[in-house]
Each structure stands twice: as C-alpha cells, then as structure tokens.
Structure 1
Amino acid sequence: MADIATPGTDDYSTAELLAIIIARSCAGDDEVLGSGGANQVVSLAANRLAQLTVTPNLWLFCGGAGVYNAKFDTLPLGTWDPRAAYGAECKIYLADVVDGGTKGRGGRQRIRRGGSGFGGMQVDKYGNLNMIGVGGPHPDLKVRGPGTVGTLWLGTGPINMYFEHHNKRTFVEKVDYRSGAGWMDGYDSRHATLDGRDGPQLVWTPLCVCDFTEEEHRMRLVSVHPGHTVEEVIANTGFELVIPDEVPTTTPPTDWELNMLRTQVDRNGMLRKRRMTIG
C-alpha cells in the first residue's frame, strides 16, 4: 500500500515543495511557458509563482483554458478550469492551442513547456512517457489511460516531467507504449529521429529531482527531498538510476517563497492538502 509523501516537517507540504523547486528552475526563462496537463495543479502553481518571482517576463500559457497570463491567486482545479482564465490577457481557439505545441517556420518553437512538466502512467529510464495504458497487446489493455493528447508535444523540444507518485509501477524499465518521446532508446537515437531536437532535462517526483546523463541520456539522481533518502529512491524505482557519489538534499522552501505561494498563488491552500504518494 502506498505511503503519503511528507517532507518530514509541518512547515510545508510535498506539493508546495515541488511547486517551489519547479518555479526556481524557470529562472532566466523569458519564453512562453505552458501548463497543458488537465490535472497539473502543481506545475500550474509553479509557473505562476515563477512569473511572480524569478521570471517576471515569462508568458504563462494555460492549455486547457487556452489563455495567456492569467492573474489567479487561488488555484483552479486544473488548466481546463474556467477559473484558470481569471484576469488573462487573451484567449485563443483550441486549434491554435494545438498548433502552438509544434515548431513554427524555420524550426522555431512557438510554445516551450519545459519548466512545468508532463506526467504519465509510466516513465522509463530514458524519459519516455506512456499515457495509452498498461498491458495488452492493444486494445486489450489491463488498465486504459487517457490517451496521447498533449504528450505528443514531447517530440518538439526539451519538455520536463513531474510525477505525483513515485513507485515501481510508474518508474519502469520500459514503457508498455510510447505516447511521448523522451530520449527514446538513449544515446543519439532521439536526435537522429527527431531532427536534432533535445529531450527532457529534469524530472521532479515526491522523492527527488533527476536529470539525464550527457551521453547515454539515462535518468540520473540530482537531489533527494528533505525527509527522504537515496535508498528510498532506489527501492521505489523500477530501473537502475545513475547515482552520483554524492547526492545533496533538495534546498527547502524559504519563508519568502512559501509566503508568495500561499498569498499570491494558492490562497485556497490546495497544495497544502494535495496528496502525493510513495510505493
């Protein structure tokens, strides 16, 4: 049975920790940053927090609502929630939302979704995502997923990932179906297949932060969150992570970061009650 992920303190929740460290990763990014997933409340909060703190020139895009630069201070239920459009500068049609996830003329990416992250039912050591289902062969699935919508954009550029559950059912040796391309089969396979486009750079989970090795593009442990250990990460991952000789603890939220999150982004306290699990 899964355990609730806690950071070993009552000062903040795991969801608040993730929102803050994802926001930090956006520092210096003046591009368009999107939150596309229907249930991506944490990344939605992170992107809005980044806009208010480390990246004031960031253009925040909410894919489900189809809006730019919303000004909500209480978290919507997801990017599809009409409340995600509160105070937005403009709204676009769904066809333009989909078109925005592709490369424009000359290879320029119109919308970068790198800071927030996609999730999935399964992810493997090369960062490939599965949202189709588990088991098979298709269509005789043991568990049916929501489908490929959104995850197809992983092929357009370095889109990062975050997961609200860290266990061996999610972090698997090889995904049953590849609905979102990570580093594909590792090494240069993605660059050769997708016109030189880079794959995911970071992965955030309730236990840790990971990146990918430079040559093989295998998932590598970067830091472990407060209240957890490297051994706990290894025990709940279904493939062999690359483990550096020294793994630091993820830097906890500051009082200022927590105050900004709770008073300017998440006044309804959704992230304090968000349930994330391990195992």
Structure 2
Amino acid sequence: MTRIATPGTDRYSTAEFMAILIARYCSGDRELMGSGGANQLVSLAASRLAQLTVAPNLWLFSGGAGVYNSKFDTLPISTWDPRAGYQAESRILIADVVDNGTKGRKPGDRIARGGSGYGGLQIDKYGNINMIGIGGPYPDLKVRGPGSVGVVWLGSGPNNVYLEHHNKRTLVDKVDYRSAAGWMNGGNERFETLNGRDGPQLVWTPICVCDFTEDEHRMRLVSVHPGFTVEDVIENTGFELVIPDNVMTTTPPTDRELDILRTRVDRDGLLKKRRMTVG
C-alpha cells in the first residue's frame, strides 16, 4: 500500500533530507552537478546547497535553461523555470545541451556526480533506467513515459540516480526498455561496450541509499533512513538487493545544513511540501 515517506520527525521533510544527502556527496574540485528539465526540485536544491557548503568550486548545470552556475535563493520548480538562470555565469543553446550529452569525456573534463537528476518509470538491479514506457511491445504501451532526451548523459560517466518513490513498480528486476544505460547486464559489460566508462555509483530513494557491488555491479543497500528498516526496503523492492551484514542508519541533517538550505536555497519552502512515497 502506497504511503507518504516520512522521516519520523517534524524537524525536516524527506525531500529536504534527500537534497542534503546528495549535496554531501559532492566535494571534488572538478565535479559538475547536472539537472535535467522537469521535476528537478531535489537535484537543483542539492546542487546549490553543495556549492554553499562542501563544494564551492563545483559547477552547477541547469539543463532546461542551458545555464551554468546560477545563484538562485528561491528554488526553481524545474530547470526551465526562469529562476534557474538567476545570475548565471554563462548560457548555451538547448541544441548544444543535448549534443554535449553524446560526446565522449576527455581527460581534464569535469566529472558529473551527485545531483545529476535522473530517475525514471523503472530502474533495475543494474541501474538501467526506463523512461520510455511500461508494457508493449512498443509502441503499444500501457503507460507512456516522457522519453529519453537527456538521459544519454548516463552513458558518458559515473552519474548517480535519485528516486522520489520507492516501490516494486519502480525498482524492478529488469526494465521494460533501456533508455539510459546503467551497468547494463552487470559484470564488465558496460566497460567493454562503452570504452571503459564508469557506471552509476549511488541511488538515493526516500527510504535508503544504495550503491553497486564491485564485481557483478548489482544494487546493494548502503544505509536506511531514520524511520525505516531494512525489512521496509526489502519489502518494497522488486528484486533481490545485496544486503551487507551491517547496514547503517543514514546520518540525519544537521542544524547548519537545514539553515543554509532554507535561507539560501529554498526560501519558499517547496521541499517541505514535496511528497515522496513508499509502497
């Protein structure tokens, strides 16, 4: 049964928590945080928060607006929102945004990490993403998705994924269509097919954090958020996760993280109202 995913406290919302988790992951000097077009509240908030805390030299890219390093303090509702371009350092054409995703990464290029705003209708145990649709054969879909524009970026390097809903319909054993390559069929297939390019590293959901095993590249549970248990994660995942002997509890937000998020990133409190679900 679907229910709202809550962290078991009124101190912060699940969406605020996820933005903070993603921001924490970004700390390198040559990292780029990218967000796609629509439905990007969490990744945009995480990107800007990372710049203000752990990663001042990080580049924030808003794909819909085609801008780099905007300085918004009122959270845009998507990267197409004009606020996403507030005091941006530069802008490129949307055709170049899409074209850049198809190009190989050269030595010295910035590495896309952290808030790369990718989710989908389905994600499987190897991190492959389906945004095309459910059912078939194509084009006779039961549910039609938004399509694959932008997710080609996932084929170019070690991006990460966040999901706003954790359930067996989304986390499936095998995606109906592969619109974005994760670790493909596991093992070394991605390295061999995509010229050694690394795959997804982390998956953030409203109830847990996962990574991928070093050999098979199967999704593995890393930590469970406050208010949830390992059993909750297993019960609401549509494939067999790798479960370590010791699973941590995800570290809650600090007062400083919440203050910066609410006063310098999301002054309208959009993340407080954002609903995420489990089941």
Q: Same fold (TM over 0.5)?
A: yes
- The Cα of 1:109 is off from its aligned counterpart by 7.7
- Name the counterpart of 1:185: 185
Cα 1:69–1:217 shift into 2, 3 Å: same
Tell me the number of residue pairs that the alignment of Structure 1 and Structure 2 aligns: 278
3-state SS, counterpart of residue 248 of structure 2: coil
The 8 Å contact of residues 102 and 152 in structure 2, kept in 1 or not, is answered as no
Spell out the pairing of 1:155-170 with structure 2 (5 A cutoff).
Answer: 155-170=155-170
Q: Helix, strand or coil: the match of 2:211?
A: strand
Residue 114 of structure 1 and its aligned partner are, at CA, apart by 1.9
Q: So what's the TM-score if we normalise by structure 2?
A: 0.97
8 Å CA contact 1:125–1:219 kept in 2: the answer is yes
Instruction: Point out the more displaced range, 120-129 or 94-103.
Output: 94-103
Q: For 1:195, what is the secondary structure of its paired residue?
A: coil
- Equivalence for 1:95: 95
**Cα separation, 1, equivalents of 2:19 and 2:143:** 29
Are the counterparts in 2 of residues 119 and 161 from structure 1 also a CA contact under 8 Å? Answer: yes
SS in 2 for 1:80: coil
Distance 1:229 1:6, change over 3 A: same
**Match status 1:19 vs 2:29:** no
Measured in 2, the distance between the counterparts of 1:121 and 1:256 equals 34
Distance 1:49 1:181, change over 3 A: same
What residue number does 1:243 align with?
Answer: 243
Instruction: Provide the secondary structure at the position in 1 that maps to 2:249.
Output: coil
Unaligned runs of 5+ in 1: none
The structural deviation recorded for 1:110 is 4.7
In 1: Cα distance, 2:243 partner to 2:79 partner: 35
Cα separation, 2, equivalents of 1:179 and 1:188: 19
In structure 1, the residue matched to 2:115 is: 116
Q: Is the 8 A contact 1:34 1:111 kept in 2?
A: no
Deviations 1:207-257 (A, max 9, x none): 100000000000000000000000000000000000000101000000000
SS at match of 2:60: strand
Match of 2:39 in 1: 39
Whether 1:153 and 2:153 are equivalent positions in the alignment is: yes
Partners of 1:16 and 1:272 within 8 A in 2: yes
Per the TM alignment, residue 32 of structure 1 is displaced from its structure 2 partner at its CA by: 2.6
**For residue 218 of structure 1, what is the aligned residue in structure 2?**
218
**SS of aligned partner of 2:172:** coil
Is the contact between residue 102 and residue 156 of structure 2 (CA under 8 Å) also seen in structure 1? yes
- Counterpart in 1 of 2:5? 5
Q: Distance in 2 between matches of 1:104 and 1:135?
A: 32
The aligned counterpart of 2:205 is 205
Q: Partners in 2 of 1:232 and 1:194 — Cα distance?
A: 35
Give 2:235's aligned amino acid.
A
Corresponding residue for 2:264? 264
Shift of residue 90 of structure 1?
Answer: 1.5
Residue 52 of structure 1: aligned partner: 52
Using the size of structure 1 for normalisation, the TM-score is 0.97
The SS at the match of 1:209 is: strand
CA contact (8 A) 1:101 1:110 kept: no
Between the aligned partners of 2:181 and 2:104, the Cα distance in structure 1 is 19
Structure 2: 5+ residue stretches without partners: none
Q: What per-residue deviation string (whole Å, max 9, x for no partner) do you get for residues 111-160 of structure 1?
A: 64321131010000000000000000000000000001111211111110
Could you tell me how far 1:30 is from its partner in structure 2?
A: 2.9
